[in-house]
Chains A and B, each alone.
Chain A
Amino acid sequence: DQQVKQNSPSLSVQEGRISILNCDYTNSMFDYFLWYKKYPAEGPTFLISISSIKDKNEDGRFTVFLNKSAKHLSLHIVPSQPGDSAVYFCAASADGAGSYQLTFGKGTKLSVIP
Chain B
Amino acid sequence: SQTIHQWPATLVQPVGSPLSLECTVEGTSNPNLYWYRQAAGRGLQLLFYSVGIGQISSEVPQNLSASRPQDRQFILSSKKLLLSDSGFYLCACQAMNTEAFFGQGTRLTVV
Contact = CB atoms under 8 A, between A and B. Distances in A.
Contacts of A34: 99
Contacts of A101: 46
Interface string A75-105: 0000000000000010100001110111111
B51 interface: yes
Interface residues of B, number: 30
A47 B94 CA distance: 15
B47 to A, nearest CB: 12
A49 B107 contact: no
B6 to A, nearest CB: 8
Given A49-B99, A97-B99, A41 B107 contact: yes
A72 interface: no
B43 interface: yes
Nearest to B91: A43
25 contacts: A6-B43, A36-B102, A41-B104, A42-B105, A43-B6, A43-B91, A43-B92, A43-B105, A44-B44, A49-B99, A89-B44, A91-B44, A96-B97, A97-B97, A97-B99, A98-B96, A98-B97, A98-B98, A100-B32, A100-B94, A100-B100, A101-B46, A102-B46, A104-B43, A107-B44
Interface of B: 4, 6, 9, 32, 34, 36, 41-46, 49, 51, 88, 90-92, 94, 96-105, 107
